[in-house]
Structure 1
Amino acid sequence: MASIKYSVLDLATVVEGHTIADSFNASVANAQQAEAFGYTRYWFAEHHNMINVASSATSLLIGHVAGKTSTIRVGSGGIMLPNHSPLVVAEQFGTLETMYPGRIDLGLGRAPGSDQTTAYAIRGENMGAAFHFPRDVQALEHYFAGDHPNGVSAVPGEGLDIPIWILGSSLDSARLAAEKGLPYAFASHFAPALFLQAIDLYRKNFKPSQYLQQPYVLACVNVVAADTDEEAQYLATSLQQLFKGIVTGRRQLLPPPVESMEGIWSYQEREAAMQMLAYSFFGSKQTVANKLGDFITRTGINEIMASSHIYSQEARLKSYRLLAEVLQ
């Protein structure tokens, strides 16, 4: 397999029988091991009002993990920019970059990271903020560059080199990333439908910029690696149960694995969940190597980011280790 960068996406997933504090401690342990095994970056995703996701205060978690590690890049995958003032985001990430220089990434998305009721609780009357996403991304660039939009400076933030990424699962995000010459991260771990079309559009329309001379594609996928295919499939039933909750709108804490999903989900629920999980790689080290190798060759991506919802912390750490061994 060709050499490729590999990273982790973390939602600070809350596990059944454990506390949110346990989730934060697990994130630190995961990031420390990821650093030791050569992972490039460790990202948190902003979500709100979800019983099983504790990464709502994303910038705080980034600072917490950056402070417990030494070299791995830590960032957002992503900050949902319509939920925030660009100035406040510039100041928060300027603070993080000042504290942990050369290690902070700022991935930006336009989705609310929540349902519409929660989005209203966050944004109030400003529910159309997503339509201003390109403008807000540009405002962030101005703050970091010190262009003083409206005579306002981001302190700290101004003059700092903080890589901005465009995140997405649609063609609109691909167009914006291409137009601005920014790296593009696609959420293929839960929204795979437009992945191939989006990265093709991004590459064909990419305009070199001060940030990037060539297009750069990161794909987030689900990975569960174990000693055997059977064990990996068993561990992956926790993720499958999680996605059943997404499909039905009845979210739950990450449950323990089960011997079989038979009787747990209906045919329709299974079909909907498996469509969302199309880019998932479960298996032994050899199986994951074969399947991921084929995926990387077919798509030509520059970086793989693993999302690993595994009930056992020990098994999750092992999965990250096996994936690193595959990709090193």
Structure 2
Amino acid sequence: MPTPLSVLDLAPITEGGDAAQSFRHSLELAQQAERLGYRRYWLAEHHGMPGIASAATSILIGHIAGGTQRIRVGAGGIMLPNHAPLVIAEQFGTLAALYPGRIDLGLGRAPGSDARTARALRRDLQTDPDQFPQDVIELMDLLSDAPRSAVRAVPGTGADVPVWILGSSLFGAQLAAMLGLPYAFASHFAPAQLMDAIALYRATFRPSIQLQRPHVMLGFNVVAAPSDDEAAELATSLQQAFVNLRSGRPGKLPPPRPGYVQTLGPGERALLEGVLSCAAIGSPETVRNGLQDFIARTQADELMITSQIFDHQARMRSYEITAGLGV
């Protein structure tokens, strides 16, 4: 049976483009993903990033859900340290009331921003590291049918909103297993602890009301095109974006740059080999092989495909090719 595929949309703002264009493209991609049979369409909270338009994640989720009919739409994720749990319960309770049975809530503990932007979000940078698990439990209580808290989320109480834990380390794996929640690992940009985190999550998972068996969804980069050469050129936009970000120069998603990798030094090449080790870039056959190898190695229950491609039509085509591979 094929592994279910979902979409992670970073709502890229391209060079020469703006947020309004990004939102139009996201809706068109979500509508295509629904037609192609993708299971979920998730958006991620990032702040102060010139190339990512999804800072107001809940609003954008509503925009996408309102323009589609069946596909699940959610957050991959909401960075909970930036928010009071009550506010997120109200926002996602509202989304669940508007789009019943279609809303997911993935939670992360990173700020999704730099320290200066985090302070502007009124986030206490000295927060106790144990606060994130407590906030997750508080949020789940607020969304439950019979909250223990005297405070009520309206809308929110009793909302049908599955909660996921996101992570790129062992911390998230432990928390997801302890709470009996599905786990999404950010292997599309931080794959170093992937196998250890999966093993820990599966070994220590405790069944819950929401989930009886462990469920692992893994991020995976795909750039699919008719030929390996075309895909390799399209992928240079993603490669430039990673190098720029890790060099402290985040910007809008740049156009492809033929021969880009050959211009890099050993350190930058090593960086790309690391962060893009969970990726398939190439023709349909190349991408199929890459996906099959990754699924065989990880036994993933679901993959969340992200395709950071400058040209919108090429990005749409990449998702279409991927959906048709039957992996």
TM class, shorter-length: over 0.9
Alignment partner, residue 319 of structure 2: 320
What is the alpha-carbon distance in structure 1 between the residues aligned to residue 190 and residue 197 of structure 2? 12
8 A Cα contact 1:170 1:198, kept in partner: yes
- Aligned residue number for residue 82 of structure 1: 81
Matches for 1:5-84 after TM superposition, within 5 Å: 5-84=4-83
Identify the range of structure 1 (241-250 vs 128-137) with the bigger mean alpha-carbon deviation.
Answer: 128-137
Secondary structure of 1:241's counterpart equals: helix
Determine if contact 2:187/2:218 at 8 Å carries over to the other structure: yes
Where do 1:99-138 residues align within 5 Å?
99-125=98-124, 127-128=126-127, 130-138=129-137
Structure 1 Cα separation of the partners of residues 94 and 313 of structure 2: 33
Partners of 1:298 and 1:262 in 2: how far apart?
27
> Using the alignment, how far apart are the partners of 1:236 and 1:132 within structure 2?
38
Q: Displacement, 1:201? A: 0.3
Deviation string, structure 1 residues 171-209 (Cα, Å, up to 9, x no partner): 010000001110000000000000010000000000111
2:81 and 2:326 map into 1 onto residues whose CA distance is: 35
- Given that 1:62 and 1:75 are in contact with CA atoms closer than 8 Å, whether structure 2 keeps it comes out as yes
Q: 1:148-297 to 2 correspondence within 5 Å?
A: 148-262=147-261, 264-297=263-296
The letter of the residue matching 1:289 is R
In structure 2, relative to structure 1, the CA distance for the partners of 1:31 and 1:144 (3 Å cut) is same
Q: How far apart, CA to CA, are the structure 1 residues paired with 2:75 and 2:147?
A: 24
Alignment identity in percent? 54
Q: What's the Cα RMSD here?
A: 1.3
- The answer (yes or no) to whether the contact 1:226–1:284 under 8 Å persists in 2 is yes
Secondary structure, counterpart of 2:325 in structure 1: helix
Shift of 1:327: 2.9
Q: Could you tell me how far 1:13 is from its partner in structure 2? A: 0.7
- Cα deviation, residue 118, structure 1: 1.2
For normalisation by structure 2, the TM-score amounts to: 0.97
Local SS of the residue matching 1:326: coil
- CA offsets per residue over residues 80-133 of structure 1, 9 Å max, x none? 001001011000000000000000000000000011111111134464165311
- Aligned partners of 1:82 and 1:129 also within 8 Å: no
Q: CA separation in 2, counterparts of 1:144 and 1:180?
A: 15
Tell me the TM-score normalised to structure 1 length: 0.97
| Equivalent AA in structure 2 for residue 75 of structure 1 | G
Relative to structure 1, the CA distance from residue 129 to residue 93 in structure 2 (aligned partners, 3 Å threshold; closer, same or farther) is farther
Residue 140 of structure 1 deviates from its aligned partner by 1.1
Rounded Cα–Cα distance in structure 2 between residues aligned with 1:204 and 1:279: 23
| CA distance 1:150–1:313, change in 2 (3 Å) | same
More deviation in 120-129 or 227-236? 120-129
| 1:15-58 C-alpha deviation (Å, 9 max, x unpaired) | 01111100000000000000000000000000001111110000
SS for the counterpart of 1:255 is: coil
Contact residue 100 and residue 160 of structure 2 kept, 8 A: no
Structure 2 CA distance, aligned partners of 1:308 and 1:83?
27
The separation in 1 between residues aligned to 2:117 and 2:242, in whole angstroms, is 20
Q: Which moved more, 1:8-17 or 1:260-269?
A: 260-269
* Distance apart, 1:149 and its partner CA: 4.2
Q: What secondary structure does 1:238 align onto?
A: helix
130 and 96 in structure 1: CA distance in 2 versus 1, 3 angstrom threshold:
farther
Q: Is the 8 A contact 1:9 1:306 kept in 2?
A: yes
1:278 partner letter: S
Matched residue type, 1:239: L
Secondary structure of 1:220 counterpart: strand
Tell me, in whole angstroms, the C-alpha distance in 1 between the residues paired with 2:19 and 2:128.
30
Q: Alignment partner of 1:123: what SS?
A: coil
Amino acid at match of 2:208: S
